[in-house]
Structure formats: structure tokens, C-alpha cells
Amino acid sequence: MRVAILTLFPEMFGAQNTLGVVGRAINDGRMDVSLFNPRDYAQDKHNTVDDRPFGGGAGMVMQIEPLLAALNIARAKVGSGSNKTVLLSPSGTVFKQQTALTNLSLDGLILICGRYEGIDQRFVDKYIDEQWSIGDYVISGGELAAMVVVDALARHIPGVLGNNQSIIDESHLDGRLDYPQYTRPENAPEGSVPGELLSGDHNKVRLYRRREALRTTFERRPDLLTQQLFAAEERRLLKEVIDTN
């Protein structure tokens, strides 16, 4: 997947693009991330990219021209094919695991990071396919949101994570949160590892994890459970959770 990011702060992506899962995806050639700064395409000698809002009010608004010039270069970079241009915005639809999976097959994704009070609505109306929010709060710029999106996508590109099971078991994939994890030592001042995980019995381990994933979801995000159908085994495990709660 080729990702192009329009940002006034390309330096912010330095760590993500070189470290961890995304760094590895880029290094292995499984993901391409390029950065375009609208300021480089500003028309005046001060490299202006923003101006005051019509109608008055606080803050500044990003102007159309530098964004469009950067977008045209980004489009050329991601090439033809199945592409999408997305604005990171607190007014967008919430970016979920399912959003990452739905967009995984895109050839190119252009992410636009707003700053200040946001960007001129005419640019949004004409050039933006979708708007994604990372949650119901406002942060100072789209960069952190773009990093969240890039990381969530990279994890699902085949071969990026060493062990594909990590993805299969992850929170949110099937509408449940993850089960608790333990590592050595078996006994610590803080407690002991649950017996099922030490039993060596694969079925016991599986049932423990399924039940505890349901417990975590029931306790913290019961809303996730209301839109689901449960097989008989899960109904029994969920009853155990409810009875012991």
C-alpha cells in the first residue's frame, strides 16, 4: 500500500516511519509512506498556508491553494489504481478496526492532516472522499491521527507481523476485547497465573481465553455485545461471566 500524507509537520513522522511495526513494514517494502508539506507549495515569499476565517472568530484556516498543489503531487506519487483521499477530522466517522480492514486493499491512501481551526470547506467538498476521526475529542493537528491510521493498517498487511495469530486474537476483530495475558514468573507477589493457562490442555486454554475476552467486553464495553449473535458455547461462557459478576 502506498500512503501519502499531507502535513505541515513532516518531522513528526520520523519516529513512526523508522521504528516498530510501521518502520519494519516500510523497510521490508510492504508499505510506502511519503510526506508532503503544503508549505513547500505556498505561492508567496512567506510560505503562507493559512488565513483568517471569513465571518470572524478565533484561529486560522488552511487555504486551498497550497493544499491542492501538495495533493496533486501526492496523487502522482500514489499513482493510479484504487485510491482514497481522507481528511483526519474530529467531525469524521470514527476510525475502527473495521475501517482499517475495509481499506486494506486500496493501492493508495492520501491522508490530509489539518492544523489550526481546520481547512477551507471548499477543499473538503471538492477533493476529500472520506473524513475519519480517531475519537470524540479534539487534538491540535491531524498528524497523530494519521499515525494511528497508518499503524492500524500496517498491522494487517500480510507478513508485517511475525505471527499472524496476533492479529486473529486481537481486540475488536470479532467485536470482543482481548483476553488478559500473563508471562513468567508463574507466581509473583501480585498473584498467580490462572491454572487453565498452565494446564497444557489446548481446549482449556481456548475456553479460558474466550470466557475472559467476553468478561472484559461485558465489564468495559457491553455495547459491543449487543449487536452480536452467539454460538451455544459462547452463550454458556457469557452466562458464566454474568453469573460470577
Residue 185 preceded by cis peptide, ω within 30: yes
CB 5 within 8 Å of CB 71: no
d(CA 245, CA 234): 16
CA 95 to chain centre: 6
Q: Is 53 in contact with 84 (CB distance < 8 Å)?
A: no
Min dist CB 57 to ligand SAM, Å, is 10
Residues forming a β-bridge with 125: none
For ligand SAM, the closer of residues 120 and 212 by Cβ is: 120
For residues 143 and 212, which CB has a smaller minimum distance to ligand SAM in the complex?
143
Residue 77 beta carbon to ligand SAM: minimum distance, rounded to whole angstroms:
20
Nearest approach, Cβ of 224 to ligand SAM (angstroms)?
A: 20
Minimum CB distance to ligand SAM smaller for 115 or for 215: 115
State the residue number with the nearest CB to ligand SAM. Answer: 114
Report the residue number, 20 or 135, with the smaller CB distance to ligand SAM.
Answer: 135
| 136: nearest Cα among 164, 177, 94 | 94
Under the rule (CB under 6 A), what is the footprint of ligand SAM? Answer: 88-91, 113-115, 117-118, 133-135, 137-142, 145
In angstroms, give the least distance from the CB of 124 to ligand SAM.
10
